[in-house]
Each structure stands twice: as structure tokens, then as C-alpha cells.
Amino acid sequence: MPDHSNALFPSSATSPGGVSIELDSVTKTYPGQKVSAVEEFSMRIEPGELVMFVGPSGCGKTTTMKMVNRIIEPTSGSIRIDGQDVLGLSPHELRRHIGYVIQQIGLFPHMTIAENVATVPRLLGWSKQQIAARVEELLETVQLDPAEFANRYPRQLSGGQQQRAGVARALAADPPVMLMDEPFGATDPITREKLQSEFLRLQAEIGKTIIFVTHDFDEAVRLGDRIAVLSERSQVEQFDTPAAILAAPANEYVASFIGSGAALKRLALMPVGTVRLSGATGDLGGRPSIDPASTLRDALNLLVVTGAEAVDVIDPTGNRLGQLTHADISAALTQAGLSGSAVR
């Protein structure tokens, strides 16, 4: 499919992935209010990057995001997508090229799932065949069997299924940029985890530039390439990779947002295979074993649960790569702390 004949952003016509987003001194002041909702917000987001905006309710993170597709008009400042000033474009045209997913999903209840997904392609004037093919492709991408779901109505879907349909709808015209406002916030923990891992797999495939708003720091750590921790008036307290923020919070505010167990959260980001192992020689003592693709957190969990001194790291072909002890895990954590963001 990707029909880029009507691409709005120049480089999305040549490369399928994302494009850059630059916000420069973006400010939003509502009439009659003394304090700005968003003040002098500047950020550059690289093509294909998944940036998480994290902060408490009312900090302005959603407002900041919604200025990118001009659902909220900035009071001052400039926003460029792929170098193009969005304030100079027609807002309707702009929004057709930016995927948009909100927490309540907002599927149209009187339309089938297929019709919902077809919304933007219809606005862009695609042909019937193009639309039908694209809808089928997308429903498969988000793991909703087209034969079963295409002709259903939103109310006939579970919350998780509706959220997937919402993502499919946002992806319909293959926009280079996606804005996601707490898309998994209203789902139960099990569904949320499932949606998150599906989303990561999807993003690895499509490589969109994504701004993802959440108040859940763990979600930010799990999904984000970089995290922007925001405070009042959307001030950026720290903007870095999850590992770097966990290893060295910029200030008290960020530290308080991370909460307890920062070290454990960091371990969850470090695959066993990237760590220096000890005792590479022989010594097979029937110890618990772990796959190198698992994280250090899994390894530590195994150590604690089994009470063993060390776990063997064994790759899928059965080769023993070495072993991990408590001391190895601590060392890996210290090492990563020194080299900053190297582990991600």
C-alpha cells in the first residue's frame, strides 16, 4: 500500500518511517489565565523515535502534545515536522497525516470497525480497492482477524480490541508521526501489558516518530526510546533514555517520579547477553539456567526464588555462555551507571 502520492511531509514520500519533530519555545496561555499551561517548550525528536511525555495530571503534557496536530493552537513558538512549519498548513490537512490515539479511543459507534479504520483514507480520497486492501492489512497488523472483526461495531468489541482498532485507525494512511494520549490508560493491567508488548513489536516494524503521553513511569521505561519528565507548565526536568534517567535522575523531582526500586527497573532494561559473565569454564552443577535474551531482573528473580549462588546463562542452542552471581549483577549495574545510557 503505502500510498505516498499525497504525502504532506517531504521525506515521508521517500522513506517509509518517521520524520523529525521540532518544538521551539512553544507556549500556550489560555485567555484570562495568568499562568501559561505550557511555557517555552523546546524539544527535538529524531525520525523514528518514540518519546514518552511523563508527568502528573495537569502538568501540561497532553496540551503540549495536542499542539503538534493543532487540536490546541499554540499561543506562540513554532512547531516543525520534517522541517515544515505546521502552523502554516491547513489544520485539517495536517491532521490527516498525523496518527492520533486518545485514551477513550473515540471509535465511531455507528460505523463498523472497517469503516472506522477507513476514515482517513476516505478523507484523502483513496479508491475503494485501496481502502479495502489497507483495512484488511491493518486489522491483521493489530491482530484483529478481518473476517471476524471488519463488520463488527465498536460496542461488540472488548476494551483491548477497541484500543487495537483505534491504533489501526490512526495508522490507516501510514502517517509518519503518531500522537498517543495515554492510549492504554483505561485497560486492565493484563490487557495493558499485552497491548504494550504488541505495540513495541509494531513500532519495531514501522518505525514511526511517536509522542506518547502517560502518567505511568513504568510504562514510559518499558516503551520509550527517550523519556521527557515534565513538571508544572510542561517544564522539561529531564530528557534522556530510560536507563540514563534511572541511573542518574537529574533532580529530586525526577527521583520522586521514578519512585522506589529504580535499580530493579534498570535491571529490567538490561539483557543478560550484554553483561560480562563470570566463571565461563566448565563447572556444570545442575544450577538454574537462563536465556541470554532475558533481562538481569529475570536473572535476579531466579536467584532469589531458587536460592542458588549463581545461574547459568545458556543460549538457545544449548551452549553455556557463563554464569551470573549477585555480585555480577551488582557490577553490571554499577558499570552501566558509569557509562550512562550505553545499555539501551
The interface with another protein within residues 46-105 (CB under 8 A) comprises 69, 71, 91-97, 100, 102-105
Q: Given the complex with another protein, which of 111 and 302 has the nearer CB atom?
A: 111
Instruction: Output the DSSP codes for 228-246.
Output: EEEEGGGEEEEEE-HHHHH
The interface with another protein within residues 286-325 (CB under 8 A) comprises none
Q: Given the complex with another protein, which of 32 and 109 has the nearer CB atom?
A: 109
Distance CA 54, CA 236 (A): 10
- The closest alpha carbon to 344, from 239, 219, 222, 258, belongs to 222
* 155 binding another protein? (CB under 8 A): yes
Q: Do the beta carbons of residue 140 and residue 165 sit within 8 Å? A: no
Q: Given the complex with another protein, which of 123 and 314 has the nearer CB atom?
A: 123
* 125 binding another protein? (CB under 8 A): no
Q: Given the complex with another protein, which of 112 and 161 has the nearer CB atom?
A: 112
**With CB under 8 A as the contact rule, which of the stretches 37-45, 108-116, 234-242, 320-328 interacts with another protein?**
108-116
* 106 binding another protein? (CB under 8 A): yes
Q: Given the complex with another protein, which of 153 and 253 has the nearer CB atom?
A: 153
Q: Given the complex with another protein, which of 38 and 113 has the nearer CB atom?
A: 113
Measured in Å, how far apart are the chain's first and last C-alpha atoms?
A: 33
* 107 binding another protein? (CB under 8 A): yes
Least gap, CB of 228 to another protein (angstroms): 21
Distance CA 286, CA 135 (A): 52
The interface with another protein within residues 226-255 (CB under 8 A) comprises none
Distance CA 55, CA 217 (A): 8
Q: Given the complex with another protein, which of 106 and 146 has the nearer CB atom?
A: 106
Distance CA 262, CA 141 (A): 34
* 112 binding another protein? (CB under 8 A): yes
Which of 28, 80, 169, 222 touches another protein by CB under 8 A? 169
- The closest alpha carbon to 292, from 261, 263, 324, 266, belongs to 324
Distance CA 241, CA 227 (A): 6
Q: With contacts defined by CB under 8 A, how many residues of the chain interact with another protein?
A: 31
Query: 161-189: b or e for each residue (b if 16 or more CB lie within 10 Å)?
Result: bbbbbbbbbbbbbbbbbbbbbbbbbebee
Q: Do the beta carbons of residue 64 and residue 234 sit within 8 Å? A: yes
* Contact residues: another protein, CB under 8 A: 69, 71, 91-97, 100, 102-112, 119-120, 123, 153-155, 166, 169-170, 179
